[in-house]
Amino acid sequence: MNNTARIFLGWALACASAAQAAEPVPIRIGEINSYSSIPQFTTPYRQGWQLAVDEINASGGLLGRPVQVISRDDAGKPEEALRHAVELTANEKVDVLAGGFLSNVGLALADYALTHKRLFVASEPLSDALVWDKGNRYTFRLRPSTYMQAAMLVEEAAKLPARRWATIAPNYEYGQSAVASFKEQLKAKRPDVEFVAEQWPVLGKLDAGTTLQAVTQAKPDAIFNVTFGADLAKLVREGNQRNVFPKIPVVSMLSGEPEYLDVLKDETPPGWIVTGYPWDQIDTKAHSSFASNYYKRYNENPKVGSVVGYATMQAIFAAIAKAKSVDNEKLVKAMRGLKFQTPFGPAEFRALDQQSTMGTFVGKLDVRGGKGTMVQWRYADGRDYQPSDDYVRAHRPAAAMQ
């Protein structure tokens, strides 16, 4: 190699090094979710957060830096989620942890966040324990909790003439928490009610015939249902065949979400009182803009997962902008009382228990054009269904509120 070639090579390497040095280091978000085990929710969820990331990067990123999400699949297993959390923080050096679908996975990640003092934004896990009994200063939750959604449903359930109630819920943290919250709040509004039967099927292994037989033998006036996914489909199909539905009124958590109605189709049980998402009937500016952009990007309509994924990133972006930093402790402080935007409208994280005020929709199920839909619905703002400060203080560790 002659001198001219050496000079040119040195110049080229110097230019490349300078260009590389000039590139801002991305803000890295580690995201963990049950992509392989619950794809009907987590696929639109991933699309939602991808849309939010693309939008923020198109606008110049945050703090002059692009945003990068490094995603991992926990397969619905707490031990897998923990393994990924270690890898993301130790090897990938992420600035924030986010995600979670199942409540037991969310609680495992929350415990990791506490032990390692790392911010964790829980997207979907609904267990009350996440922000109360097992809450900690590093964990924040986006979606309305089981307590909040139970409160929304109790408001309607208390109007029914039903006095004898039965419950059907998956036998793990989410189901147990939902039933406990529903019982507590319904009895407070209707001291005359009694719960005459409880069924606790293993998640994903519901024997619908046996479950419904045990419930109907107790002769309830109404049923509170917490099953979802494949278990919900089995329950509805068996209940329709046995004429249990609509003979016995049902109040059901999450069953009005498109993820599940798209599966039920014309088997959707009319009259069920549910929480859900009537995406095609919401005409607010914020939602219309989100739904339009989502459709343009993916050529499909949004689901609840889409909203949750998008809003999770919006909350994280707002915290980073408020803190003007990705320093962990500064982000935790910024998250407390943080106001941010969602496709459902403005929300904030209540400082006391770090629970978001993002709400959901309450209405009844019906079948229109061979498809399940929500009717007679209303938006239930989460801030109206959070418990009192005294209630939270009685359930949340004092250290978590420091």
Same domain, 251 and 321: no
Block mean pLDDT (10 aa), the chain, length 402:
54 50 87 94 97 98 98 97 97 97 95 97 94 96 97 98 98 94 97 98 95 97 96 97 95 96 96 97 96 98 98 98 97 97 97 96 96 97 95 90 76
Q: Is residue 1 part of a domain?
A: no
Residue 18 lies in a domain: no
C-alpha 253/C-alpha 346 separation (Å) is 23
Assess whether 245 and 371 both reside in one domain: yes
Residue of 156, 147, 155 lying closest to 129 (CA atoms): 147
Q: Report the Cα–Cα distance between both ends of the chain, in Å, rounded.
A: 66
Look at residue 192 and tell me if it is in a domain: yes
Query: Of 74, 47, 15, which is closest to residue 313 (Cα–Cα)?
Result: 47
pLDDT of residue 16: 47
Strands 96-99 and 120-122 turn out to be parallel
Query: Both 249 and 106 in a single domain?
Result: no
Evaluate the omega torsion of the peptide bond into residue 246 and state whether it is cis, within 30 degrees of 0.
yes
To the nearest 10°, the Cα dihedral for 82, 88, 94, 99?
-50
What would the DSSP string read from start to end of 318-380?
HHHHHHTS--HHHHHHHHTT-EEEETTEEEEB-TTT-BB---EEEEEEEEETTEEEEEEEEEE
Examine the domain organization and report whether 140 and 153 are in the same domain.
Answer: no
Q: Do residue 140 and residue 159 come from a single domain?
A: no
Q: What is the pLDDT of residue 19?
A: 44
Residue 1: predicted pLDDT: 53
Closest by Cα among 146, 149, 86, 141 to 118? 86
Same domain for 172 and 270, yes or no, is yes
229 within some domain? yes
Tell which of 339, 357, 375 closes a domain: 357
pLDDT at residue 400, rounded to an integer: 80
Quick one: 179 and 40 in the same domain?
no
Q: Is residue 221 part of a domain?
A: yes
Q: Which of 357, 374, 394 is the last residue of a domain?
A: 357
In a domain, 89, yes or no: yes
235 with 366, same domain: the answer is: yes
Q: In terms of pTM, does the model score above 0.85? A: yes
Determine the structural domain holding residue 204 and report its residue range. 147-279+361-385
On whether both 179 and 259 belong to a single domain, the answer is yes
48 and 172 housed in the same domain: no
Plot region of 212 (φ>0 → left; ψ -120 to 50 → alpha; else → beta): alpha
Q: Is 343 inside any structural domain?
A: yes
Residues 249 and 166 occupy one common structural domain: yes
The CATH number assigned to the domain holding 340 equals: 3.40.50.2300
57 & 86 share domain: yes
Q: How many domains does the chain have?
A: 2
> Does any domain span residue 183?
yes
CA distance 315 to 141: 10
